[in-house]
A and B are shown apart, each in its own frame.
Chain A
Amino acid sequence: MSDIVNVSYLAVGPEIILTLGAVAVLLVDVFRKPSPRVHAWIAGFTLALAGVVAGFQWTAEPSVSFSGMISIDRFGTLATFIILGVAALGLATAWGMVERLGRRGAESIVLVFMAAAGFQLMATSQNLMMIFLGLEIASLSLYVLAGISRERVQADEAALKYFLLGSFASAVFVYGVALTFAGTGHLSILDLRQFFATYVVLRPGVTLAAMAMLIIGLAFKVSAAPFHVWAPDAYQGSPAGIVGFMAAAAKVGAFAALARILIAGFPFYQDVWSDGLALLAAISITVGMIMAIAQTDLRRMLAYSSVAHAGFILTALLGGPGGLAAVWFYLAVYTVQLIGAFAVVSSVAGPMGAQSPLSDYTGLADRSPFLAGALALFMVAMSGVPLTSGFVAKFAAFASAWAAGYEWLVILAVLASVAGFFFYLRVIVLMYMQEPAVAEAPGAAPARFQAVGAVRWVLLIAIAVTLLFGIVPGPLLDLVRNALPL
């Protein structure tokens, strides 16, 4: 099928629109020097239009175009939807930062768009080279975003660490791509599956090494332990407004690529790679939960908790094609919780702020009841308490892994979830049950924080999504069940 040059612009429609939107923002910025409000309109319009085009993709017949490079299937389209949603929420959260950056504000919008387009490419590509291309487009944008407030040393440090470790991961991934080609002579995922279905690989060493490197490269991007060391520094040092987007979008894009490569490309090695993923999941869950307990900075805590969540998503992936629905549900609801949590963080730390010591949150419930309530809900949801989306997500992940025969991992994961209550609850303890320490300077009242402007809407949406899909998850679960790769 890859011999026919079939060009379908629908397949890359959302990415084209994002790119055009990015160009428009840049040009308008150069020639008109408009107020941020104009940028907001352009950005909103671009994202909405991209969403509409993605809607067309959803209803289109699954197909492959551009010589087998890009596919239209519900798998990729669902990822596009989630990434666009994450970009919209992330940009709204970061709007305070965009306004404050002045001339560089436009750049940050452009970078968000390019990152989103890159991650969408990762999810829709049928070819390992294209996946790598998407990965690099997205990663480079994120490195710059991490350091966009270049006045601050922490931001530079975060960006540099993120860049060095990220490029290392990319190198591992591209090595995996090369080894795959060396072992099979194919780069297209569909051809790979065809190859393994047709031929018996007598000496699978190279193939297995290739698979391992592809997994490791992407494990870096989803911050699965032991490839997570960049995450805490990057989360802590980057501008508060944009961290939510960085973390959430990377997880969606990288998990989509990982799931597609393994499930569509290497289905005949499922018993091998699922053992590997189970090990990775076990390490991530354990390391993430234990390290999170020891943190004194909310952002580092969220970073380690996201390591654990990467482990839970890997747990869901163990179910193979049957576990994909669990992966998607988890990604869809967790990214919203994550962005919501960072929306609170950026309201407290300021949109450009680095570091969020937990002591900032002491007694927050009395000063800023809305922010405290929102953060409490996200903490409860992340810890997996029922009637929040987090419980349904965890439940689906555990059921998927149990059905695949990984009972030991499920038992480890449920016990680790209990350990997770420690640090999630500690945030609630600080906000609701402790009085703020007496201010050092007499008369200095503890600051009241407010969710301003768009951040308020981000929080309301995130709260609604978290509760809605916790109580009535059926519609979303039905939707994601259809999102299978070609």
Chain B
Amino acid sequence: MDFPILSVLVLLPFAAAVIVGLLPSRRKELYLPVGIALSFLPLAASIWLFAVFKTGEGAFQFVEKTTWYAPWGVSWHLGVDGISLLMLVLTTILVPISLAASTTISKRPKQFVVFNLLLEGGLLGVFLSLDLFMFFVFFEVILVPMYFIIGVWGSDRRIYAAIKFFIFTAFGSALMLAGIIAMALMYGRQTGQISFDYLDMLNLQMSYQTELWLFAAFALAFAIKVPMFPLHTWLPDAHVEAPTAGSVMLAGVLLKMGTYGLLRFNLMLFPRATVDAVPILAVLAVIGIVYGAAVAIVQPDLKKLVAYSSVSHLGFIVLGIFALTSQGLQGGVVQMINHGLSTGALFLLVGMIYERRHTKKIADFGGLANVMPLYAGFFLFTALASIGLPGLNGFIGEFLVLIGSFVTLKWFAIVAASGVVLAAVYLLWAYERVFTGPVHNPANEKLLDLNAREITMLGVLAAFMLLLGLYPKIALDRIAPSTELVLDRIEATTTYEVPYPGRIADIVGVSAHE
């Protein structure tokens, strides 16, 4: 591929941020529209990428490699495979939407748009980098715009939440940095040339002991990001205090950096440690599923409810990944997208009602379906998608995760299935309390239903939920070859064998990536 589409994709948001930054400060009304308009460029690029991506190929496509600093063996190495492709599309869809949801931001609007665009650039860099140094750069630099978005434009306890978010995630990645340095130097000792290249790291020889330590360093960084129980305590604070756009990006994409990292780095680079760590991570994932759901049930605050539901849903993704079966991995990746769409939409919905009523307390509402029928409809649709109603996207992901993990982690899958039931409890119960019955609070009688802008935003997300629910093949065709490669790698480097029927290859009879 001659045209450096991936570099363009990563650099477009940064360029957009500069353009918005240079807008004259007396034209305040321009910042948001220009920012939204510019954020359509990466969206167009990622959709084009999705269209021309070769399905049935698991390896990286559109690979670009340019030396960044040769003596350190660092290069600007980008590539996209089935796992990252959908993350790119998700990111680029959510950015214009979350910007469009920020019309009420009046404080320093220019910086707000700039930070959102920088965030997008960093996220795209994370999902595209095939160099551990570059990956870390993007992984870490994302903290700064998110820190500002929470800290400047958040609600009352925003400063506490912003600092907690920053320190927690920085703590995790600090040890990963040490791990990355160790790997690069180890590679240098083995081959004579230091390298941070992801593909080189796949050839790294290391003792089992070293592999365990490195696995732990990477897993800690990603487990905090996911976040996995018991490292999740930053999440409710950050999600609740962040402005709507921040919550959408945080839940929609930032958390996926953790699961993406586990899949891309832990499974691929440390397969032996992965196989042995499955029980630990599966236990934590299942605890997260049940605990997150149980806590969500009792939340009096709608936004907090959605935040805790993320802990539960992310547990499903981790369980699917560490099931180490075709279905589990695919389900995990699909669920990353699903969660981004449905939780993103839920945070948008919470934001919309908060803009109207300046409260997120469930007890303050009741009977809203009478005054805001469209809003209620979208809420119910999204809640059902999130619960996993067949025909909508959540079903595909959870179903794949559950059958995939049932093969290898039977009892975990059984306990995890209760998370689906609990999801129905917290979301439908919340729906009941907010929307059904008569309007008993006079403040709610005059609420306006959704306007065209809000309908567009939610409509786009709902359309994708429906599309993935009815025709998941467009996603799975692209994901499956890449996740099969992960399993190939694990089976080739360890004694682990995926039991029947955990591999597509076993069922279809051919290796899917050939």
Contact = CB atoms under 8 A, between A and B. Distances in A.
Given A386-B140, A387-B137, A402-B178, A425 B147 contact: yes
Interface string B136-157: 1110110110011001100000
9 contacts: A385-B140, A385-B144, A395-B133, A398-B181, A399-B185, A411-B178, A421-B167, A432-B152, A473-B69
Contacts of B171: 415, 418
Interface of B is mostly: helix
A398 B178 contact: yes
A414 B69 contact: no
Contact of B166 (A410, A421, A481): A421
B167 A422 contact: yes
B137 A410 contact: no
Nearest to A419: B167
A205 interface: no
Given A385-B141, A385-B144, A433 B71 contact: no
A477 B67 CA distance: 14
A391 B181 CA distance: 13
A288 B398 CA distance: 49
Given A402-B185, A410-B181, A429-B163, A418 B137 contact: no
Contact of A421 (B158, B170, B184): B170
Interface string B319-360: 000000000000000000000000000000000000000000
Given A425-B147, A474-B69, A477-B69, A407 B167 contact: no
B159 interface: yes
Contact of A477 (B71, B143, B162, B182): B71
Interface string A317-357: 00000000000000000000000000000000000000000
Contacts of A432: 148, 151-152
A380 B144 contact: yes
B68 interface: yes
A417 interface: yes
Nearest 10 Cβ contacts at the A-B interface: A386-B137, A414-B174, A433-B151, A474-B69, A386-B141, A418-B171, A386-B140, A418-B170, A418-B174, A402-B181
B71 to A, nearest CB: 7
B498 interface: no
Contacts of A414: 174-175, 177-178
A434 interface: yes
Nearest to B138: A386
Contacts of A425: 147, 163, 166
Interface string A439-477: 000000000000000000000000000000000011001
Contacts of A38: none
Given A385-B144, A386-B138, A425-B163, 12 more contacts: A386-B136, A386-B141, A387-B137, A395-B181, A410-B178, A415-B174, A415-B175, A418-B174, A428-B147, A432-B152, A433-B159, A477-B71
Nearest to A411: B178
A164 interface: no
Interface string B115-146: 00000000000000000010011101101100
A479 B181 CA distance: 22
A403 interface: yes
A314 B158 CA distance: 37
B180 to A, nearest CB: 9
Interface of A: 365, 380, 385-387, 391, 395, 398-399, 402-403, 407, 410-411, 414-415, 417-418, 421-422, 425, 428-429, 432-434, 473-474, 477-478, 481
Contacts of A403: 185
B17 to A, nearest CB: 12
A452 to B, nearest CB: 21
Contact of A429 (B71, B144, B151): B151
Nearest to B177: A414
A416 B159 CA distance: 21
Contacts of B167: 418, 421-422
A433 B152 contact: yes
Contacts of A429: 151, 159, 162-163
A212 to B, nearest CB: 29
Contacts of A434: 159
Contact of B182 (A402, A417, A473): A402
Nearest to A365: B108
Contact of B181 (A365, A380, A399): A399
A422 B144 contact: no
A474 B71 CA distance: 9
Interface string B182-213: 10110000000000000000000000000000
A201 B453 CA distance: 82
Given A411-B178, A414-B177, A477-B71, A433 B162 contact: yes
A351 B359 CA distance: 48
Contacts of A481: 71
A421 B167 CA distance: 7
Nearest to A481: B71
A459 to B, nearest CB: 17
A474 B159 CA distance: 36
Contacts of B181: 395, 398-399, 402, 410
Contacts of B136: 386
A387 B134 CA distance: 10
A447 B170 CA distance: 35
A415 to B, nearest CB: 6
A162 B449 CA distance: 69
Contacts of B175: 411, 414-415
